[in-house]
Chains A and B, each alone.
Chain A
Amino acid sequence: GQNIDQPTEMTATEGAIVQINCTYQTSGFNGLFWYQQHAGEAPTFLSYNVLDGLEEKGRFSSFLSRSKGYSYLLLKELQMKDSASYLCAVRSTKGGYNKLIFGAGTRLAVHP
């Protein structure tokens, strides 16, 4: 089956660092995405990992370990505007076609 787990909620302080974990079990794994979704808005692309290791993009980094079925999103120098839901999504080729399967998201609250 397809299963993606991430914590439901996290809180952090402005200026701090936070790590949001995602574990997955899926057949036909072909890459992992992180999306940011502010309340009432569309998800927006943050990062994509297809090989093991760390991808860094400004204040945001994403890590993937395919053997462990594990990824994390690291947010540095947190700002109030980072308060949002962060969605882990696995790209799967199960069934012969590519599709993104999303986790339920982690709601991050950044406070002063």
Chain B
Amino acid sequence: DGGITQSPKYLFRKEGQNVTLSCEQNLNHDAMYWYRQDPGQGLRLIYYSQIVNDFQKGDIAEGYSVSREKKESFPLTVTSAQKNPTAFYLCASSKQETQYFGPGTRLLVL
């Protein structure tokens, strides 16, 4: 089965803690993306990567970091510098114009 997986489904972060959200795809797509979605808001682009070992900041990159060491994987780290991390995080991949999304990770702050 081809697709995108995200884990965990729910993640709890303590004050001052860095947490990492996993995103894996077996669609053989070159490009991958991370979005944040807040209630009543559209998706906002955090980071994107069009090829292995390269990534670019999106509109709201502050307080986040990513890596792209493998084509299949694009993990997102929410650092302690992100003061309002509570949100629904979505990972996507694409080969051309269409994006395919994972099931999302909901991050909550304790």
Do A and B associate with each other?
Answer: no
Q: Give B residues with C-beta under 8 Å from A.
A: none
Q: Give A residues with C-beta under 8 Å from B.
A: none
